[in-house]
Amino acid sequence: MTVIADLARPLFFERNVTLSHGLRTKSAFDLALYPAMGRRDVGVLIATVIGVVEFIDGEEQYEYEVYKKKFPDLVAPASQFFNPAFPRKWGAGEKQVFISEGNAIVSRVWSGRHILTPSNDMTEMKKIHVQVDCHLKQGWGLHSHWNVAVKKYPPFYKTRSFVRAGTAGAIDNGEVNLNMIDIYPEDLGGPTKFVTIAHEFGHVLGMRDEYLEGTVPADVPWFVSDTASIMNRGNVVRPRHYVLFATWLDKAFRNGTLLRGLTPGWRVGEFPPFTTVANAGIG
């Protein structure tokens, strides 16, 4: 069942949220809590991520030289790099597809996966649903969180997409670097297909890598066996990936109610075992 937020009645709002755990990113996104339409016991927490997209055309000669140095024993034929069937300049339609698909994928994958509940009776709100709204757009505006660079590489040319956090505010947005194929699912050996843009926006939401790279454990090595996880090699959002929303709710209720210094103790899950920042293991 879809739960609709009553946008006319905001309860709490914070712009440019700085995360308290995980990657501890500054100015990662905006958060707002609303009651559900026609309900007082159900809420909707909306995380809004705004990214300004720059589309970067490919460069055949440069890519070919880099590829030869990086993979001297696996050099692709030059004809694959200098292929007129794959122009390196972005078309207007390609840009629109990337933006619309990217927004849809991130919002769909990260929204509505788990319920947030209070650990006591201090609030009449008993369930909070999470909605992640991704807004990739071209052109600068008055407010954004991330600068998103998308390079047009040929499909066989594997590059490493990554996220680099900024230092806070509009002066220094964080950076997201992507490839044009990052909106398409791929098989990385996990039980579910992996979609790079959904994984990278997990970093935007504060989550660390969980995969094993060669023989080197990831940022949080205790999850390397969970290959279905979206922060590993799959596409599953685990309860631990929602705990930063719960910690924000604790702060919002503690600072924004008459019960100063007290909190309903928000956690992830409707039934035990519940997940909190104390037991999530996200760093």
- In a domain? residue 5: no
- In a domain? residue 3: no
Range of 177's domain?
Answer: 12-267
Angle at 195 between CA 182 and CA 282, to 5 degrees: 115
- In a domain? residue 44: yes
- In a domain? residue 179: yes
Closest among 131, 136, 107, 130 to 117, alpha carbons compared? 130
User: pLDDT (tens digit, 0 to 9) for every residue of the chain, 283 residues total?
Assistant: 689 999 999 999 999 999 999 999 999 999 999 999 999 999 999 999 999 999 999 876 666 666 666 666 655 666 666 666 677 889 999 999 999 999 999 999 999 999 999 999 888 899 999 999 999 999 888 899 999 999 998 776 677 899 998 765 445 799 999 999 999 999 998 899 999 999 999 999 999 999 987 766 678 889 999 999 999 999 999 999 999 999 999 999 887 664 555 678 999 999 999 999 999 999 8
- In a domain? residue 272: no
Helix (H) or strand (E) holding 201: helix 196-204
Domain count, the chain: 1
pTM of the model: 0.90
Q: How many residues does the chain have?
A: 283
- In a domain? residue 273: no
- In a domain? residue 132: yes
- In a domain? residue 172: yes
